[in-house]
Amino acid sequence: MKKMLKKHFGFDAFMPFQEDIIADVLQKKDVLVVLPTGAGKSLCYQLPSLELPGTALVVSPLIALMKDQVASMERKNIPAAFLNSSQGAQEGREAKQKVLDGRVKLLYVAPERLMKEGFLEFLSGVEISFIAVDEAHCISEWGHDFRPEYRKLGELRDKFPRAPFIALTATATRKVREDIKSQLRFKKFAEHVGSFDRKNLNYIIRPKQNTYYHILGYVEDHPNWSGIIYCHSRKSTEQVTANLQSDGIAAVSYHAGLPQKERTENQDKFQRGEARVIVATIAFGMGIDKRDVRFVIHHDIPKNIEGYYQETGRAGRDGKQSDCILFFSWSDKMKHQFFIDQMRNAPRADVAEYKLEKLIEFCTSCSCRRKMLLAYFGEEYGDKNCGACDTCVDLPAAA
């Protein structure tokens, strides 16, 4: 495996947990992997797919990312393909034939396509080595991004009884982890849960007053830093972007209302450093691999701690000190509460309200932010002062 790691990925050594996880996958165990953003979760299924006979099935939630993921694998000489609605009929037939011919080691597919009867019939003629479920927290109704189609994935046990699951996520509380294992019918399994502590991240909460003035000042004070600004709505995303551009900041927007071509171009500009700042809704971020993001700013509060943790986790993936700044207001809380009150599914509304209250507690407490963040995910932080949040030390980053 280390020789293959060097050959295909160019690394001399595994990151923490990777080697043990890969060993469990090769032993055909069900595996639950909970590691923070940037910890190399994808490699844990990409590399063993080369060793095991057959094709590894990768359940991916975002169609927009699959093409990039497959292109990345092909650059590493790992035969991969995707099947989704973005393909033309001829392209789809060619990809299917490659799979049937055994010329694909990784097949990426969205859960909506995967669980269709016709697609499962097609897969019945394919040797499936294992099933990797990316963003596995989507399985759980207690997860922060529950998707009903993910809930059906356990049915694949009946179709492919010999294929183990590897479920991967960056954000899962104990309750969510138990639900994932239950829904996927884990039997002989291994569980790998890393620390949620990103030691190089500074957590800063500021009152939402003169917000744009503070954001502009921060960006101007760090002229060589690249970062992400998250906004709740498309309208505020466009407004903040326009304001930054008028003030001479190289900024671009990213939200679901933009044409796909423009979204891709803006993301590429940010990746290449042509745009120093990307202002985005939560539609942006999954799968991005820009390691030198120095700041993540939340212009509006997110819906829950899981979302906050996942979004701030895009900062400092190179291990260098980075700032996570959130502007808090009670009016933002009421906006989220309004949408919760409109939910027809009472149990899901209760979960959403509980998660929102936990986020408000995190934002308004005088306790160590890091300690509270880790405690939410069931991890104890031993130090009294983390030295890297606004309640433990005076961090003037957003002042």
The answer, yes or no, to whether residue 380 has pLDDT greater than 80, is yes
Domain assignment of residue 11, given as a range? 2-193
**DSSP H stretches of helix in the chain:** 2-4, 18-26, 43-51, 63-75, 89-100, 111-114, 117-123, 156-159, 174-183, 211-221, 234-246, 260-272, 305-312, 330-341, 346-364, 369-376
What does pTM read for this prediction?
Answer: 0.84
Residue 386 counted as domain residue: no
- pLDDT level of residue 1 (50, 70, 90 thresholds): confident
Residue 398 counted as domain residue: no
- pLDDT level of residue 116 (50, 70, 90 thresholds): confident
Distance CA 372, CA 156 (A): 37
The answer, yes or no, to whether residue 265 has pLDDT greater than 50, is yes
Same domain, 103 and 166: yes
pLDDT given for residue 283 in this prediction: 66
Same domain, 340 and 277: yes
Distance CA 296, CA 303 (A): 16
The answer, yes or no, to whether residue 337 has pLDDT greater than 50, is yes
The answer, yes or no, to whether residue 228 has pLDDT greater than 50, is yes
Residue 228 counted as domain residue: yes
Q: Helix, strand, or coil here: 253?
A: strand
Domain boundary (158, 177, 193) is at: 193
Same domain, 150 and 31: yes
Same domain, 142 and 224: no
Residue 29 counted as domain residue: yes
- Per-residue pLDDT, averaged over 8-27, amounts to 94
Same domain, 148 and 243: no
- Per-residue pLDDT, averaged over 265-281, amounts to 93
Same domain, 158 and 273: no
pLDDT given for residue 399 in this prediction: 37
Task: Name the one residue in this structure whose structure tokens are 């989704």.
Answer: 84
pLDDT digits (tens, 9 = 90+) for 243-261: 999 999 999 999 988 888 8
- pLDDT level of residue 299 (50, 70, 90 thresholds): very high
Same domain, 181 and 237: no
Q: How many domains does the chain have?
A: 2
Same domain, 318 and 238: yes
Distance CA 278, CA 296 (A): 10
pLDDT digits (tens, 9 = 90+) for 145-184: 778 888 899 999 999 999 999 999 988 889 999 999 999 9
Domain boundary (162, 193, 224) is at: 193
pLDDT given for residue 398 in this prediction: 40
- Per-residue pLDDT, averaged over 172-201, amounts to 93
Same domain, 118 and 169: yes
Domain boundary (193, 218, 234) is at: 193
pLDDT given for residue 288 in this prediction: 67
